[in-house]
Structure 1
Amino acid sequence: MKISILNLFMIFSIALQSYAQNNYKWFDETLPFEERADLLIEAMTLKEKVAQFLNETPAVPRLGVPEYNWWNESLHGIARNGKATIFPQGIAMGATFNPDLIQEMTTAISDEGRAKFKIAQAMNNKGLYAGLTFWSPNVNIFRDPRWGRGQETYGEDPFLTSKIGVAYVKGLQGNDSKYFKATACAKHFAVHSGPEELRHSFNASPSKLDLYETYLPAFEALVKEGNVQGVMGAYNAVYGDPSCSSEFLLDELLKKQWGFNGYIVSDCGALGDILKGHKKAKTVEEAVALAMNAGVNLNCGWVYQNIQSAIDQNLITEELVNERLKQLFLIRFKLGFFDKAESNPFNNVTSEVINSDEHKDLARKVAQQSIVLLKNKDNILPLDKNIKTLYITGPFSSSSNILMANYYGMSANLVTVLEGVTDKVSLGTSLNYRQGVLPFNKNLNPLNWAPKVAGQVEATIVVVGISNEIEGEEVDAIASEHKGDRKDLKLPQSQIDYIKELCEHKKGPIILVLGTGSPVSLEEVEPLVDAVVCMWYPGEQGGNAVADVLFGDVAPSGHLPITFPKNVEQLPAFDDYNMKGRTYKYMTKEPMYPFGFGLSYTSSEFSNITSNTKSVKEGNELNISVDVKNNGKKDFEEVVQAYLVPIDGPGYLPMYSLKGFERISLKAGETKKVDFRFNTEQLNQINLEGEKVWMKGTYKIIISNALPSKRSIELGSAKPIETIIKLK
């Protein structure tokens, strides 16, 4: 029998691995991880060490160190690695206002990740997207609705983003006292939200107020509350220093002030931007030194190929290399890579979890809770399943692409809106379907019968929107002229014209279903249609979830995690990172749909607001309770929101600040008491120096189911209820 050189090498490598595991102390599971990492690094040569700092790390067979690729994605399900459950996109998670559900979802994602990792290891797939270090979630603030990657975030509010983000991390990383099931990575640190085409050279210089009030809270929460194990440095610079070489961001804030003890990875290619985009280094070795001194452990890119050269030029030391490498190996130890398989409880996960029925049901539930009902004229929704004639049309009515967003996995269970509706209606319903219009271009054939069908049916469902072809990351949105960002907020003109044609011919109501990852201006079409349902990018079960809502099996309960402006003219300049005029906190212009807004098939009423005190001293707790009643005849889930509103005090304070929220279920006619408890930390506010302080003054605590504004009430939200308190 002939044995190839490759087979001989593999046999030799396996023998070396076995020898190492039986003879080296870093495989001794009775020792602390810290000691084991030190022992391993001490045994490595400098050449072996410097090879470990790129995302694709080679094996060190003589020491039993396996090959490992750090780069994996799990934004809304295991991504780019074959079969996996596709959950709704990040912005939809924000719309659920349900951290518990998101933690349940990421527990499922990490189960699938563990199972897929075991299978990949067994077939010797140790490459890209096959590991357990997931570079998610994206907790940047959706500062400007034109940003193509805003869809990945949880919206515009730091408090909501923090709560959803912490839940995401906890579910992904697991709750074992010794091992991580997987590791999460908070990105992109920091002050990053477009424009995409400028991201490699842009310098963000926010005020200290905006930095600490808006841009940093979610990252701080993920470190302090979520124990997130990874942080990804952004492409852009902050205060003149590239994020990935900023000692202020990575050392002073992240490590010294917040106590971060995980690993820092560069965004892919970001260390090259230190040299080429920001021009803060004259040589690649200087870029190495700037990043490594600041705290970057791992380079997704090419710059850290030159670590040895930087050492030779006395720009960094081997001691620093050891320090940065230890943090990387600690992650691998905590994931159980150097321990027996049976020692790690997460290795008990089996392949049956991957895209299981249970996970598909969970994807459907997340989508259901994320769908936002924005308009329902004359209560035309929900539709009757026994409707005699129904027309479904629009460029995305049969599209699976609209379900997936970006950073997605593969599933054989993609359910389009057309499929979901078809499965929902009676077998006797005359259901007609035509796409009707191209998504982004005018129809070439002027003889288009599709709009006229709306005049022949009892109701028309038109599915419109944008997609990952229009909005996304710089390198992905193939139909975007602005590298993934949008120039305006309107639907493509072809879709606007088609909606108008449908409305000209309509016999029954027109229900507009909107697929999007960001706010869309509906100025031209909203007055013409009878109902508007925002489904976001709803994941593989999106069509079923939309049908569940349209036909009343589930009452809509999603609420907007971001303001929908009327048009782009209401926005400040895209590259202006000042928060003035942005988000519900500082926007003075009347929006189309306010933050927190969402209708349902019933209405709620707030009453009997009480507080434990009217005067709160620093160090004391404020307790607020309110009764919430379901006034209708349908069961539903309400999102109760608590806002802090200043009456006096400094003029720079936000007009509103979301300080608490709770999703509750209410039977028809039922009343529940909801309690909010605020300690000093929660009531502190940011001053002009960026300090979190006790801000004395008079405030309102307003409880509502949307931003407590005139516009929300006009659109049908519940009447808010308030109490006045003094912070002394």
Structure 2
Amino acid sequence: MYINRQSIYKGFTAFMVVTASFAQNVDFSFQNNHLPIDKRAEILVSQMTIEEKINQLKNGAAAIPRLKVPDYDWWNEALHGIGRNGKATIFPQAIALGATFDPQLAERVASAISTEARAKYAISQKNGNHSKYAGLTFWTPNINIFRDPRWGRGQETYGEDPLLTSRIGVAFVKGLQGNDPKYLKSAACAKHFAVHSGPENIRHEFNAEPNKQDLYETYLPAFEALVKEAKVEGVMAAYNAVYGKPACASDFLLKETLRDKWKFDGYVTSDCGAVSGVYNKLKYVKTAVEAAAVALNSGTNLECGTTYSQLKKAIDQGLITEKMIHDRTVQLFKTRFRLGMFDEKGTDNPYLNFGIEKIHSPEHIALSKEVALKSIVLLKNKNNILPLSKDIKIPYVTGPFANSNDMLMGSYYGVTSGMVTILEGVADVVSPSASLNYRSGVLPFHKNINPKNWAPFEAGESDVTICVVGLTADREGEEVDAIAAENVGDKVDLKLPQSQIDYVKEIASKIKGKPLVLVIASGSPVSLEGIEELCDAIVQIWYPGEQGGNAVADILFGNSSPSGHLPITFPKNVAQLPAYEDYSMKGRTYKYMTEEPMYPFGFGLTYSKTEFRNLKLSTSNLKEKQTLTVTVEVANTGNYDIDEVVQLYVNPMELSGGIPLKSLKAFERISLKKGEKKSINFKLTPNNLKVVNEQGQSVWRNGNYQLVVGNASPGALSTRLGAATPQTAILQLK
């Protein structure tokens, strides 16, 4: 075959000339960081071909060398530390952060995470690592309401209350995104929008149809707060449908609510595979082309998945316009410009100089321990058995998670060499003269296969038995992460695995009157029916992060007083719960539950005694445009320095129209030295005191209300379990 080399050379030369000419005509003024973000994004995207724009709408965005646009993967996780990207500080799981009732602490944690993110991003860029989990766009936080304790992903949330979730969520976003008026430290993302909290096994297929009252009272407030107050940069549309339309293709959610009503100016991403689910799971449309078109038209800028590769066909079929592609792409690049990804050198971005020394730094390790300490909830302390003496002679540590690293981590975690198990923490705290003994005693989730590993006789010989039981993210978690295929991430019931229940009973039968301290690790409520009465003390530690062992030991042996409070109600059993698939809030959470649970929302003991005194209202008759000031004195009358969570609830005295039985309206975490007292002021605006009616409208409702200030949700159970006697007052709205 004859090859005309001269013709090939001429053709190649012509191609190079055209390419060089094209490159010379590129307008690189988008690199000028003094121009407005909108203009910079428009200049850049206007120079892309339609194919190049489409390739930017996928989480794995392709490089465009001629425009000096590098490839970038939007998918990254930072739930409680940078996840899935190597070495990072592992903070306690999100539900534990909720248990601190401390928004300032949440912001500090998120700021530490974004500092590590910036350091890791700089290193990754230098090494040419543009892969998934190496960027600055974090799909965090999960602000769905933990409406049912069976949900495996509830551990990722801040609990069951919209106010608590909003306040912790807003603080977390501010910590991730920083406070610079021009640049984002990293980009947070509120997920999963909306009405999404299990079941995991049908999450791709179910259609949530909450009544308007539940939608606006419970499911949307945290999202609205993050958009309006925290200016969250991203929102992730959920897998499920809402009112018959897939969340990632919902005009109601993405256009009417998010963009038009809340004035959101960030990007919307689908959950991973959700756009394909529009046609192959939810059957909303018939083809992938239609699914891509309807999601893009409704406002989903970015797809985590591959269905947006069909967008060129959607244009050809007249389902979308090139302008729509252009507009959605511009929005994505606004985020990247806000992150400083295309700036000229020598910019004023304050987030460029974090080095490797910021990754898993001593300060961040100490912060992880601080969160763990402040999140641990003391549920029971019979005869004040805790704190234990460090000079105890024969402590026995046992249980399937006493020496477990997996239990510390929860879901969506990073990697570190600094994990401290509970056994290690106890070993460091007790006196060197102590005869500390340990055996795991039982396997976590299965019938014990090694009878020699059972050691109740040692419990009988010991001065105290510390038994560590619970769950891990292998037992409760996301659909794709669950080992127990029959559960698909969710829990069938609230009980501990039977092997653990049997082991606790076996120990209790052998200890001969010696104290038994039960330490529970989980990301959700665990029922203790049948074993609660066997234990002298019960401590809920969640998934406490890399410093969990040190924190638990400090609590058990009195270096710190426990100060966590439950961010979710602990029912006695599943019989107290409505059907899992039912998204009505009736009978759910402390706000609507009429049955008495095992442990109430907001509950948590300390080693001291708290008294509330002298509750005063600025007025007992309030008109709609007035602000109410609530003042209360809080005193520590016990023998330990403590942190306390002061909680203000408003309870309507005339129930009608589906409004909540009680609602948390304000809270503040304070420190009190022994013998110290403080005066706490809460200001409630008219919006704080409005209720959501059955039409979903926020309205001023005349009538009498009881204001309750204490350290747990109001009720006889809280007081019976050891919460302080609350202060109450009657307020008339008119």
For the superposition of Structure 1 and Structure 2, which TM-score range results when normalised by the shorter chain?
over 0.9
Deviates more, 1:441-450 or 1:328-337: 441-450
2:395 to 380, 390, 393: 390
How far is the alpha carbon of 1:479 from its aligned partner?
3.1
1:42 aligns with 2:46: yes
> Distance between the aligned counterparts of 2:559 and 2:295, measured in 1?
54
- The residue type equivalent to 1:160 in the other structure is L
| Secondary structure of the corresponding residue to residue 532 of structure 2 | coil
Given that 2:439 and 2:453 are in contact with CA atoms closer than 8 Å, whether structure 1 keeps it comes out as: no
1:566 Cα deviation (Å)? 0.3
The residue identity in structure 2 corresponding to 1:591 is: P
1:192 alignment partner, one of 189, 196, 213: 196
The DSSP-based 3-state class of the residue aligned with 1:306 is helix
Q: Which residue of 1 aligns with 2:611?
A: 605
The 8 Å contact of residues 94 and 161 in structure 1, kept in 2 or not, is answered as: yes
Instruction: Report the alpha carbon displacement of residue 447 of structure 1 after superposing the two structures with TM.
Output: 4.3
Instruction: Report deviation, 1:41.
Output: 1.3
- The answer for the alignment partner of 1:709 in structure 2 is 715
SS of residue matched to 1:346: coil
**Deviation above 4 Å: which 4+ runs of structure 1?**
19-23
1:199-238 aligned within 5 A: 199-238=203-242
Distance 1:412 1:207 in 2: 48
The counterpart of 1:367, out of the listed 351, 367, 372, is 372
The count of aligned residue pairs is 714
Question: What residue in structure 1 maps to residue 5 of structure 2?
Answer: none
User: Residues 46 and 392 from structure 1, CA distance in 2 versus in 1: closer, same or farther, beyond 3 angstroms?
Assistant: same
Does residue 164 of structure 2 align to residue 147 of structure 1?
no
Q: Does 1:406 align with 2:411?
A: yes
Deviation at residue 420 of structure 1 after TM alignment: 0.5
Give 1:649 deviation, angstroms. 5.2
2:32 aligned residue: 28
1:651 Cα shift? Answer: 4.3
SS of the counterpart of 1:272?
Answer: helix
Instruction: Measure the CA separation in 1 of the matches of 2:449 and 2:183.
Output: 59
1:304-453 matches, within 5 Å, as: 304-343=308-347, 344-453=349-458
| 1:581 counterpart (579, 587, 612) | 587
Q: Which residue of 1 aligns with 2:516?
A: 510
Instruction: Give the secondary-structure state (helix, strand or coil) at the position aligned to 1:331.
Output: helix
Q: Partner of 1:345: helix, strand, or coil? A: coil
Which amino acid in structure 1 is aligned with residue 217 of structure 2?
E
- Aligned-pair CA distance for 1:283: 1.3
Q: CA RMSD in A?
A: 1.4
Does the CA contact (< 8 Å) of 1:594 and 1:707 recur in 2? yes
Aligned position for 2:620: 614
- Is the contact made by 1:643 and 1:703 (CA closer than 8 Å) also made in structure 2? yes
Which residue number in structure 1 is paired with residue 85 of structure 2? Answer: 81
**What pairs with 1:567-716 in structure 2 (closer than 5 Å)?**
567-648=573-654, 650-716=656-722
Alignment of 1:106-121 (within 5 A): 106-121=110-125
In the TM superposition, residue 342 of structure 1 has moved relative to its aligned partner by 3.6
1:252 aligns with 2:256: yes
Checking the alignment, whether the CA contact within 8 Å between 1:402 and 1:515 is kept in structure 2 is yes
Structure 1: gaps spanning 5 or more residues: 1-11
Measure, in 2, the Cα distance between the counterparts of 1:66 and 1:302.
20
Match of 1:373, SS state, is strand
CA distance in 2, matches of 1:356, 1:272: 41
Per-residue deviation, 1:21: 12
Tell me, in whole angstroms, the C-alpha distance in 1 between the residues paired with 2:214 and 2:293.
Answer: 30
CA–CA distance in structure 1, aligned partners of residues 620 and 522 of structure 2 = 43
Cα distance in 2, alignment partners of residues 510 and 690 from structure 1: 49
Pairing partner for 1:493 from 487, 495, 498: 498
Instruction: Name the counterpart of 1:542.
Output: 548
Most deviating of 107-116 and 38-47: 38-47
1:168 and 2:172 correspond: yes
* TM-score between the two structures when normalised by the length of structure 1: 0.97
What letter matches 2:444 in structure 1? P
Q: Give 1:50 shift.
A: 1.1
Give the drift of 1:20.
Answer: 8.1
Would you say 1:104 and 2:108 are equivalent positions?
yes
1:318-351 CA deviation, whole Å, 9 max, x = no partner?
A: 0111111111000000000001354111001111
CA distance in 1, matches of 2:142, 2:262: 19
SS at 2:334 equivalent:
helix
Q: Which residue is equivalent to 1:463?
A: 468
Q: Is the 8 A contact 1:91 1:152 kept in 2?
A: yes
1:512 match: secondary structure = strand
Residue in 1 that maps onto 2:13: none
For residues 674-708 of structure 1, what are the alpha-carbon distances to aligned partners after superposition, in whole Å with 9 as ceiling and x for unaligned?
11100111111100000111111110110010011
Tell me what 1:720 maps to. Answer: 726
Tell me the TM-score normalized by structure 2: 0.96
Query: What stretches of structure 2 of length at least 5 have no aligned partner?
Result: 1-15
1:288-320 C-alpha deviation (Å, 9 max, x unpaired):
111011100000011101111100111000011
1:135 and 2:166 aligned: no
SS in 2 for 1:91: helix
CA drift at 1:22 = 9.6
Distance 2:462 2:655 in 1: 58
2:265 aligned partner: 261
